[in-house]
Amino acid sequence: MQIGMVGLGKMGGNMAERLRRGGHEVVGYDHDPAISDVASLKELVERLSAPRTVWVMVPAGKPTQQTVDELGELLDEGDIVVDGGNSHYVDDQKHAAELREKGIGFVDCGVSGGVWGLQNGYALMCGGEQAEVERVMPIFETLKPEGEDGFVHAGDVGAGHFAKMVHNGIEYGMMQAFAEGWELLEASDVVKDVRGSFSSWRTGTVIRSWLLDLMVRALDDDEHLEQLRGYAQDSGEGRWTVQAAVDHAVPLPVITAALYARFASRQDDSPAMKVVAALRNQFGGHAITSSEGSTGKGADSPGADVTPPREAE
């Protein structure tokens, strides 16, 4: 099958390569001319035979909107656009409606697999009309892992990215659980082999998983993670998952806490913890640490100006 691939970064480039290895003809476009097959989206469309299929792998938000807008002017009735990026499912519905007015189909596809997808295949979650999904199935079949699993037509337009959004929310929670367990093991005076403890869980336990395998791999590279700073970004899906939970009145305490933990990781000196420290000092006389690192007297310690009644925390 012939397909156009817009965006040839870490994911898009590997996906294009997997498709080529699977016998498909891929025409790729990227802003980097060194890796692009064509000089523009217009040339990409001209290189494809009708009815065309163009897969978009660019960042969510404005870049995707601009790409969809331009493709809407270049493509013809009967062509299909697949958004395989990490778009918000609400944007999918908007894009589908805009393209539908011009007779252009739209399929949203959440893609999971990261840098390992070229070798292992990609888990695909798509949304859209049945006939349009079926037209793209040869592409989906090549991208997905071998076997029955790894692909779902989740529902209407937006369902694919909604499913991927929830997938990433679950991923946030799982990673946070591993992270907290690792920190507790590292803090223990009893456990001497933290890396070995994680590795022992890879066989026979209920938490064995690829994520656990990757955790052990990271500890093999840096046993105590001393080369890393405890700072974690979020790519948007975690926030959208929590917002969707609010919209649907569904409690997500684990995923929400994992998202907030990432926010906390970006603070060298947490403003909120300053308030907590100050209040603990005021009502309980607990020692406080200054911005220079020195420890001050508690509010009810000898020499303090105020002696409030003692409270238990």
What does the pLDDT look like over 27-42, one tens digit per residue?
999 999 999 999 999 9
Instruction: State which of 228, 243, 265 marks the end of a domain.
Output: 265
CA–CA gap between residue 197 and residue 175 (Å, rounded): 17
Return d(Cα 126, Cα 84) in angstroms, integer: 9
Looking at 169-178, 214-223, 289-298, which range is the least confident one?
289-298
Q: For the residues 54-74, what does the mean pLDDT come to? A: 96
Catalytic site positions: 164, 171
Write down the pTM of the prediction.
0.83
Q: How far is CA 97 from the centre of its chain?
A: 26
Residue 300: predicted pLDDT: 46
How many domains does the chain fold into? 3
Do residue 195 and residue 94 come from a single domain?
A: no
- Considering the domain architecture, whether residues 13 and 153 belong to the same structural domain is answered as yes
Q: How much is the pLDDT for 313? A: 43
* CA distances from residue 156 to 132, 162, 163 in whole angstroms, order as listed: 11, 10, 11
Same domain as 239, residue 100: no
Instruction: Clarify whether residues 9 and 67 are in a common domain.
Output: yes
- Structure confidence at residue 273 (pLDDT): 67
Structural domain containing residue 226: 164-265
pLDDT higher at 299 or 75: 75
Nearest to 301 by CA among 290, 313, 285, 277: 285
Helices 159-187, 89-100: inter-axial angle, 10-degree rounding: 160
